[in-house]
Chains A and B, each alone.
Chain A
C-alpha cells in the first residue's frame, strides 16, 4: 500500500519499552527540554573554568582533553569534603520509594527522571572509579566508565532537577537529590558546562548586585516608579530609604520583585508595609542597591559561587551598621539563608538578635543568622494586632497558597504565610494535602530552569502543581495563586496560562499591601495592579 508503518507500529515508534537497560540507553538531548549553554562572557566574568562558545546539541562540547581526570578528581575532592555525598553514593538500596515523587518524572514519564535513576547516573561513575566492588565486578555492581556519552547524559538530567527535595522526604535514608544535583553541577562547572539561565544571572549578580544586571540608578528609578504608583493609588508617599547607614533594619529581596511582573506588585506591598510601620511606629528600614539581590543562582552552580554571591548580604549589613536583616519573599534565597549563609559567611556577631521593634518579639529562631523572613515578621505584626487591615479589598480574589519547595523542605515555614493570608483576605482554600506543605510540588522551573527554551520541560514538570491548582479552581473558584518566591512569580503565570487559564499569580505581600490601611490614605478604588477594587468598579472608571 504505502511505506507508512501500520497502526500498531506507528504508535510504538520511539516509545516501545526499552529492551535495553538504562545504562545502555543513551540520552537524546531534546529541544524544549534543555537550557541553552552558558555565555562565555558570563563564565569569564566570575573566573570559572573553560569559558568558550558551545552548544549542547553539538557533538563536540569543547571540553578539555583531560576532562575525565578533571571530573574524577573533582568527584574525589567532593567526596572528601562532603559526608552527604559519600553516604548518598553508598547507601541507596534502590527501593523505588522516591521514583514517583518527582514532578519531572510524573510530568514527562521519562524513567531517568526518577530521582533514584538520576542519582544512579552519577553513582555508576562513582562505583566504577571509587569502590572495590565496582572495580572488580564492573557493570554487575552497577558501575560504568565515564564516557562522553555518560557525561552528556548526567549533564542533561542534572538540569532536569529543580533541587526541590521532595524525593528526600520519602527516602528511608534521607538521600537528598538536591545535594547530588548541586555537587553534580559543581563537577559540570569544572568543565564549563553550565546553562546560560544560571551563568549570566550569577555574573550579573556578582557585578551589579542582582541577577538582572540592573545598575544602582536604575534600581532606584524602578522603586521611585512604584512610589509614584502607590501614591496614585493610596495618596500616600511611600518613599523608601537606600543604603542608609545606621538604619535599624536592612531589607533584602530578590531583584525579580523589583524588575519583573507580578513581583513588582509584591515590592509595592513591601513599600506600603514599611511606610505604615514608619508612620505609626517609626520603623527604620533601608534598601540596598549593592546587596540588591536576595536570590542566589550561585546555589545552582556551586557552593563556592553561592558563597561569593551571598557574601554581599553580611558585608552590606556590616557596612551600614544595621541591627538585623529582613528578607523578602524568595524560595531558594531562604534555603541559602537558612542552611548555608551563617556557616559560609558568618558569624554575624556584628548584628543583634533580631527583635521586632514594633511588637518587641524576639526572633529566637533567627538569633544566630540574624535574618528574619518577612512572612514571620508580618505574621508577628498581625498576631499582635499592629496592622490596620481591610481584608475585604481582596474580596474579588479567591486564593490558594503554593508552598515553595525551599521554604518548605529546607526551612519549614508553612504556617506563617497561611496565617498572613487568612488575615488579609477572606477567601482562602488550600490545595489537597498531598500537594502542599512538605509534600508541595515544585513549580517546575526552580534551580535555574525557568528559561524560555526549556518550556516543554517546565510545563511538564509543573503539571502536578497545576493539576492541584486546577482542582481548587474548579471546586472553589480559586482565581489567585499566592506564593512567597520570585521564581514562582516568574514561572507560575506561564504554567497557569498553559494548564489553568483563569488563575493569576500573586505574592503574599501584594495581598498585604492591598489590605493595609495606611494612615492618611485616600479612599482606594484600585488595587496595586490599578484594577478596580471589589465594589469600586464604577469609581475606578471615572
Chain B
C-alpha cells in the first residue's frame, strides 16, 4: 500500500487530531464551544477550521495546485490573523501536521518504501507552511491598508470629490479632530 492510500485510510483520525490541535490553541472554555457542532453561523471559527483542514488534507494528498492550496488555507489563516496569536503561532499548525502523520504512521514508517514518499510529503507540508506565511502576511497587509486608508478612502475621498480638501485645511485640524 502506498503512502497516499494509507493516509486516505487514516484520514479521519489524522484530520480530527489536526483540528483538535488548532482549536486547542484557544482557551479551554472557548475551545469546547468551537468544537461544538453548532452550525456554521453560530460557530464560524470552529466550522471554518474543520472544513478548511479537511480540505487541505485532501489537497495535500491529491497534489492540488498552489493557488488551490492557498484558497483552502486562506479562511483558516485569515481568522487567526485577527486573533490573539503571534505570527508563528498563527501558522504553526501547518508544520505540525508532519508530527501528527508520523505519530499515526509509526508502524508504516518503518518500511523503507514509504520513507521516500513521506519525505516528499513532508517537503510539501513545508511548502504549505511557507504558503501559510504568505497568506498570513496578505491578511495583515489587508488589515494595515484598511487601517491606513480608513480616513482617506471615506471621509477624505468624499471631501476631495466635493473639492473641499483645501478649504478644510484652512479651517484647522483634520476632519475628525476637535474643532472649537
What is A's interface to B at a CB cutoff of 8 Å? 7, 10-18, 30, 32-33, 39, 41-42, 45, 99-100, 105-111, 200-201, 203-204, 207-208, 212-215, 218, 221-222, 225, 229, 259-261, 264, 432, 434-435, 452-453, 455-456, 459-460, 463-464, 467-468, 471, 490, 493-494, 497-499
- A11 near B89 with CB under 8 A, answer yes
Interface stretch of the complex, out of B64-72, B79-87, B105-113, B115-123: B79-87
- B84 near A222 with CB under 8 A, answer no
Give the residues in chain A near B178, CB-CB below 8 Å.
Answer: 39, 41-42, 45, 200, 203-204, 213
- B146 near A107 with CB under 8 A, answer no
User: Is B8 positioned at the interface, with any CB of A under 8 Å from its CB?
Assistant: no
Show 13 residue pairs from A and B whose CB-CB distance is below 8 angstroms, ordered by the A residue.
Answer: A10-B92, A11-B25, A11-B89, A15-B26, A33-B84, A109-B31, A213-B177, A452-B150, A459-B143, A460-B82, A464-B41, A471-B41, A497-B142
Residue among B26, B142, B168, B173 making CB contact with A498, cutoff 8 Å:
B142
- Count chain B CB atoms within 10 A of each CB in A109, A201, A453, A497 and give the residue with the most: A109
Main secondary structure of the interface of A (DSSP, over half): helix
Give the residues in chain B near A203, CB-CB below 8 Å.
Answer: 178, 180
Q: Once the chains are docked, how many angstroms separate the CA of A14 from the CA of B159? A: 45
User: Is B162 positioned at the interface, with any CB of A under 8 Å from its CB?
Assistant: yes
Residue among B34, B43, B79, B155 making CB contact with A259, cutoff 8 Å:
B155
- B30 near A105 with CB under 8 A, answer yes
- B82 near A467 with CB under 8 A, answer no
Q: What is the 8 Å Cβ interface bit string for chain B, positions 22-42, against chain A (1 contact, 0 not)?
A: 001111111101101011111
- A109 near B155 with CB under 8 A, answer no
User: Is B5 positioned at the interface, with any CB of A under 8 Å from its CB?
Assistant: no
Give the residues in chain B near A260, CB-CB below 8 Å.
Answer: 154-155, 158
Main secondary structure of the interface of B (DSSP, over half): helix
- A218 near B167 with CB under 8 A, answer yes
Residue among A7, A18, A494 making CB contact with B27, cutoff 8 Å:
A18
Q: Once the chains are docked, how many angstroms separate the CA of A110 from the CA of B33? A: 11
User: Is B179 positioned at the interface, with any CB of A under 8 Å from its CB?
Assistant: yes
User: Is B13 positioned at the interface, with any CB of A under 8 Å from its CB?
Assistant: no
If A14-B89, A106-B44, A222-B159 are given as contacts, then 10 extra A-B residue pairs at C-beta distance below 8 Å, sorted by A number, are: A100-B36, A105-B30, A106-B45, A203-B180, A213-B176, A264-B158, A264-B161, A435-B41, A464-B41, A468-B41
Residue of A nearest to B25 (CB): A15
Give the residues in chain A near B155, CB-CB below 8 Å.
Answer: 212, 259-260
Residue among B28, B93, B168 making CB contact with A17, cutoff 8 Å:
B28
Residue of A nearest to B98 (CB): A7
Task: Give the Cβ gap from B141 to chain A, nearest Cβ, in Å.
Answer: 11
Give the residues in chain A near B92, CB-CB below 8 Å.
Answer: 10-11
Give the residues in chain B near A17, CB-CB below 8 Å.
Answer: 27-29, 31
Q: Once the chains are docked, how many angstroms separate the CA of A201 from the CA of B79? A: 31
Give the residues in chain A near B99, CB-CB below 8 Å.
Answer: 7
Q: What is the 8 Å Cβ interface bit string for chain B, positions 122-154, against chain A (1 contact, 0 not)?
A: 000000000000000001001100110011011
Give the residues in chain A near B162, CB-CB below 8 Å.
Answer: 221-222, 225
Q: Once the chains are docked, how many angstroms separate the CA of A17 from the CA of B157? A: 46
Residue of B nearest to A453 (CB): B147
Q: Once the chains are docked, how many angstroms separate the CA of A108 from the CA of B88? A: 18
Residue of A nearest to B21 (CB): A11
Task: Give the Cβ gap from B145 to chain A, nearest Cβ, in Å.
Answer: 8
Q: Once the chains are docked, how many angstroms separate the CA of A207 from the CA of B178? A: 9
Q: Once the chains are docked, how many angstroms separate the CA of A152 from the CA of B88? A: 28
Task: Give the Cβ gap from B86 to chain A, nearest Cβ, in Å.
Answer: 8
- A30 near B29 with CB under 8 A, answer no
User: Is B163 positioned at the interface, with any CB of A under 8 Å from its CB?
Assistant: yes
- A204 near B179 with CB under 8 A, answer yes
Task: Give the Cβ gap from B114 to chain A, nearest Cβ, in Å.
Answer: 21
